[in-house]
């Protein structure tokens, strides 16, 4: 028939086409690549390939830490993990160093920084304009909690799962406690109130002493704790007495009260040493040492007897 289509049916598998080899693309010139890009891409490419001086001018200026307002330095450090971060921040630049060093140790800013890390807030210890609040920030006696958490992170010493309290850690903690007790007594601020401003500090102190006394030799520090108490307390009493001799009777009475609170709190913490070391070695008791020093301080300053229970 005229105009009819003829369909030819292929018999067998189709022929396999030869593989097509794609030749490598020739290198495009800078003008050709710009023509393929849009206006935004072209501008960005031009900036990236421009001279370094031009690209630096087009970038946004990076903020410089040293240009932050120095008046906010104390406020910002109140939101960090430790008040001692401020002493690390003073090494950033000269302006920050002048800001930290130039702030009086008795200023309200140091008091706010100290109380910002306390659980009970500033109402527990009122602000005193003649007290060295900077020293308390530097001592940071509340690191006792961190030390105890590090020590008691595992089981007991026999299981080798717990970090042993080293002599260096013990000496650092005892030095900080003694210095805090001495400065609070001289400043007329209750040591008990300072310690109670952060929760779990007093239990942590007792737990730290218990761990120090129950570790196996040569990491047992019971003898060192008794030696520290019997030698550091008379030295502390002499320093407080010398600093308060020329003060008013009200300041002397506040200093004696703070010293008594320090002796009472440490006596409670050293109760394990009293029960299991002092009696066994027939030594002078922890409480009798504290009572003798409290009596000597009150007799020298006020002519009274101690009120330590």
pLDDT per residue over 130-144, tens digit each?
A: 888 888 888 776 677
Which residues, 6 or more positions from 258, have their beta carbon under 8 angstroms from its beta carbon?
Answer: 181, 184, 185, 187, 188, 189, 190, 191
Judge if 260 and 175 occupy the same domain. Answer: yes
Q: Is residue 121 part of a domain?
A: yes
Q: Is residue 183 part of a domain?
A: yes
Judge if 77 and 178 occupy the same domain. Answer: no
Boundary-marking domain end, from 99, 115, 139? 139
Judge if 73 and 129 occupy the same domain. Answer: yes
Q: Is residue 53 part of a domain?
A: no
Q: Is residue 253 part of a domain?
A: yes
Q: Among 36-45, 91-100, 149-158, which range has the highest average pLDDT?
A: 91-100
Q: What is the pLDDT of residue 9?
A: 54
Q: Is residue 10 part of a domain?
A: no
Judge if 294 and 235 occupy the same domain. Answer: yes
Q: Could you tell me the residue range of the domain that residue 125 belongs to?
A: 67-139
Judge if 160 and 268 occupy the same domain. Answer: yes
Q: Is residue 128 part of a domain?
A: yes
pLDDT tens-digit series, residues 118-128: 766 667 778 88
CB 220 within 8 A of CB 146: no
- pLDDT (average), residues 56-75: 66
pTM metric for this prediction: 0.68
Judge if 156 and 299 occupy the same domain. Answer: yes
| pLDDT tier for residue 255 given thresholds of 50, 70 and 90 | very high
Residue 264 has pLDDT above 70, yes or no: yes
CATH code for position 229 = 1.20.1310.10
Report the percentage of the chain scoring pLDDT > 90.
26
Q: What is the pLDDT of residue 129?
A: 87
Q: Is residue 9 part of a domain?
A: no
Residue 46 has pLDDT above 60, yes or no: no
Judge if 176 and 257 occupy the same domain. Answer: yes
Judge if 179 and 134 occupy the same domain. Answer: no
| pLDDT tier for residue 253 given thresholds of 50, 70 and 90 | very high
Q: What is the pLDDT of residue 164?
A: 80
Q: Is residue 32 part of a domain?
A: no
Boundary-marking domain end, from 139, 163, 197? 139
Residue 26 has pLDDT above 60, yes or no: no
Cis, peptide link before residue 35, omega less than 30° from 0: no
Residue 161 has pLDDT above 50, yes or no: no
Judge if 181 and 251 occupy the same domain. Answer: yes
Boundary-marking domain end, from 98, 117, 139? 139
Q: Which of the pair, 150 or 37, is modelled with greater confidence?
A: 150
Q: Which of the pair, 275 or 70, is modelled with greater confidence?
A: 275
Judge if 78 and 162 occupy the same domain. Answer: no
CB 108 within 8 A of CB 126: no
Q: Number of structural domains, the chain?
A: 2
Judge if 105 and 134 occupy the same domain. Answer: yes
Judge if 171 and 308 occupy the same domain. Answer: yes
Report the percentage of the chain scoring pLDDT > 70.
68
């Amino acid at each position: 028939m005229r105009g009819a289509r003829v369909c030819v049916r292929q018999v067998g598998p189709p022929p396999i086409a030869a593989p097509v080899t794609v030749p490598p693309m020739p290198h495009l010139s800078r003008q050709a690549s710009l023509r393929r890009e849009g206006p935004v891409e072209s501008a960005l490419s031009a900036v990236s390939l421009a001279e370094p001086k031009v690209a630096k001018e087009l970038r946004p200026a990076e903020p410089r830490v040293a240009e932050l307002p120095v008046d906010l330095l104390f406020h910002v450090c109140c939101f960090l993990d430790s008040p001692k971060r401020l002493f690390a921040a003073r090494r950033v630049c000269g302006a920050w160093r002048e800001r930290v060093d130039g702030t009086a140790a008795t200023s309200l800013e140091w008091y706010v920084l100290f109380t910002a890390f306390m659980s009970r807030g500033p109402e527990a210890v009122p602000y005193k304009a003649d007290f060295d609040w900077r020293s308390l920030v530097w001592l940071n006696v509340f690191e006792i909690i961190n030390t105890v958490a590090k020590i008691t992170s595992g089981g007991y010493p026999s299981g080798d799962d717990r970090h042993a309290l080293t002599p260096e850690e013990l000496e650092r903690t005892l030095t900080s406690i003694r210095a805090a007790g001495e400065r609070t007594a001289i400043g007329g601020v209750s040591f008990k109130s300072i310690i109670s401003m952060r929760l779990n500090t007093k239990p942590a102190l007792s737990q730290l002493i218990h761990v120090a006394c129950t570790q196996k030799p040569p990491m047992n520090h019971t003898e060192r704790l008794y030696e520290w108490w019997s030698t550091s307390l008379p030295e502390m009493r002499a320093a407080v007495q010398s600093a308060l001799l020329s003060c008013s009777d009200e300041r002397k009475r506040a200093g004696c009260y703070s010293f008594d609170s320090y002796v009472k709190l440490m006596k409670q913490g050293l109760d394990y040493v009293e029960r299991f070391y002092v009696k066994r070695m027939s030594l002078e008791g922890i409480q009798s040492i504290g009572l003798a020093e409290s009596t000597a301080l009150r007799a020298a300053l006020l002519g009274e007897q101690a009120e330590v229970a």
